[in-house]
Chains A and B, each alone.
Chain A
Amino acid sequence: MAETATPELAPSAATLVASAHQTAGPYWHLVDFPEWADTTRHFADAIPAGAERITLTGTVTDGTGALVGDALVEIWHADPAGRYPEEGGDPTAFQGYGRCATDKAGRYRFVTLKPGPVPVGPRTGDNRVQAPHVALAIFARGLLQHVSTRLYFEGEALNATDPVLRAVPEARRGTMIARPSGDGTWTLDLRLQGENETVWMAV
């Protein structure tokens, strides 16, 4: 931990410009590997004690109400203790990255471990705590850049103080909160556009 206050950021002059995104298109399934939807696949015998195995699922619909059956959904989240891998860290440790294709019914489905509460930025001295959450990214035909949101878990006490969730207008927070169905399954439907549109974020 730094013993002095973080100095003001002096933006460095960018010498290059980030490459433009382009759509993943309809044929991205060439890089679909269904086993990637189970983040625990490498850890069958090494699930950390106290970890809770969960299923995350839901449908993706478009602005006409049609189910989106050609989307690439990715998740990224902390481990059950709220930790992320360090850059260049142990690649054999659990990491909450998953990729899943929506099926013809527009449904995604991940098997993973429920993440713990995550500090906002311990590397920057910001030790506020975020509620357990999962970053969600959707890539698809018709999306020139991926769209991003977060999945939170209904009933978590920390939801009330989570800095990201609190920045969302209260009436729309429900679009980011998955609901349990009792058997470790959490459901969050995603709406790209229109009525009850998911809160999409500029990441």
Chain B
Amino acid sequence: MSEVVHGYRRSDPATQPPLDSPSYGSTRARFPRQPLLELPHTLTETSSPVFTAARYPEVADLTALDGGGEAMGERIIVAGRLTDEDGRPVRHAMVEVWQANAAGRYNHEGDTHDAPLDPNFRGMGRVFTDADGWYRYVTIRPGAYPWRNHSNAWRPNHIHYSLFGSGFAQRMITQMYFPGDPLLPLDPIFNTVSDEAARNRLVARFDLDVTEPERALGYRFDLVLRGREATPMEDGHHG
């Protein structure tokens, strides 16, 4: 049996952050005030660009730049599985990540936090999932950093993720957080997701199976893209 993709299921709003989130000040002038128009999914939404490592080379170890030394900080391994809501692996998907360095500073001209830049850390990674949806990369644990959302505001440690599925309607950018971070209950961005279970799924968990002896702690972080609304068809009767 194969399936024809009609579109993708809509999320329970409690499991997604609302665009209008007053506690996160930058939303104020940027959220649409008009109600969103529901777009029926067409071929445009159920198709997606095809990325390959040949044209989009992998950067699976963020701790080492070509010709440079090793990044400062606590080396970690992050691994996980990308599936859809029905548990189907999202195969050969491009996963992009970016993050601050161990001192909590981004290698970005807009970041003026008074913390050192690391000449051996750029903070950008790119990997592809395998045929079963698994991805893995090596990096350093990012530091916390201050921001100006409110008085004495600090972002918890996090790594940004950019993901593509098999339909452009599955496109997603999100953030991975770390377990036990005392800043999580205080962070307006994390807490814009009102459903506690959905929020906590953005927190990686320490995993001894991902951990490598004498090398690095391992974290497991699974991601889920929207599931399909699909009709089963017999093989050979589609496309």
- Taking beta carbons and an 8 Å cutoff, which residues of A are in contact with B? 1-3, 6-7, 9, 11-12, 14-31, 42, 62-64, 66, 68, 70, 74, 76-78, 84-91, 95, 97, 118-124, 130, 133, 135, 137, 139-148, 150, 163-164, 167-168, 172, 192-194, 197-203
Give every chain A residue within 8 A of B166 (Cβ-Cβ): 87
Give every chain A residue within 8 A of B199 (Cβ-Cβ): 20
**Min CB–CB distance A45 → chain B (angstroms):** 16
**Min CB–CB distance B112 → chain A (angstroms):** 11
Give every chain A residue within 8 A of B168 (Cβ-Cβ): 76, 135, 137, 203
**Min CB–CB distance B40 → chain A (angstroms):** 7
In the complex, which of the residues B29, B171, B189 contacts A144, with contact meaning CB atoms closer than 8 Å? Answer: B189
Kindly state whether residue B215 has any CB partner on chain A within 8 Å: no
CB pair B4 A16 closer than 8 Å: no
Give every chain A residue within 8 A of B122 (Cβ-Cβ): 30
- Taking beta carbons and an 8 Å cutoff, which residues of B are in contact with A? 4-6, 9-12, 15-19, 21, 24, 26-34, 36-52, 54-55, 83-87, 91-92, 96, 98, 100, 106-108, 110-111, 122-124, 126, 160, 162, 166, 168-169, 171-175, 189-190, 192-193, 197-199, 201-202, 223-227, 229-231, 233, 237-239
Q: How far is the CA of A68 from the CA of B45 in the complex (A)?
A: 26
Q: How far is the CA of A14 from the CA of B223 in the complex (A)?
A: 15
Give every chain B residue within 8 A of A194 (Cβ-Cβ): 33
In the complex, which of the residues B55, B126, B190 contacts A91, with contact meaning CB atoms closer than 8 Å? Answer: B55
Give every chain B residue within 8 A of A7 (Cβ-Cβ): 231
Give every chain B residue within 8 A of A147 (Cβ-Cβ): 19, 32
**Min CB–CB distance B150 → chain A (angstroms):** 15
CB pair A22 B189 closer than 8 Å: yes
For A90, give the chain B residue with the smallest CB separation. B50
CB pair A20 B111 closer than 8 Å: no
Interface of A (DSSP majority class): loop
For A6, give the chain B residue with the smallest CB separation. B231
Interface of B (DSSP majority class): loop
CB pair B44 A76 closer than 8 Å: yes
For B39, give the chain A residue with the smallest CB separation. A201
For B107, give the chain A residue with the smallest CB separation. A30
16 example contacts (A-B, Cβ-Cβ < 8 A) are as follows: A2-B238, A11-B229, A20-B16, A22-B174, A23-B173, A23-B189, A27-B108, A74-B171, A123-B5, A142-B29, A144-B19, A145-B19, A150-B39, A150-B44, A201-B37, A203-B169
**Min CB–CB distance A21 → chain B (angstroms):** 5
Give every chain B residue within 8 A of A25 (Cβ-Cβ): 160
CB pair A91 B52 closer than 8 Å: yes
Q: How far is the CA of A193 from the CA of B33 in the complex (A)?
A: 6
CB pair A26 B30 closer than 8 Å: no
Give every chain A residue within 8 A of B190 (Cβ-Cβ): 22
**Min CB–CB distance B113 → chain A (angstroms):** 11
CB pair B52 A27 closer than 8 Å: no
Give every chain B residue within 8 A of A150 (Cβ-Cβ): 39, 44
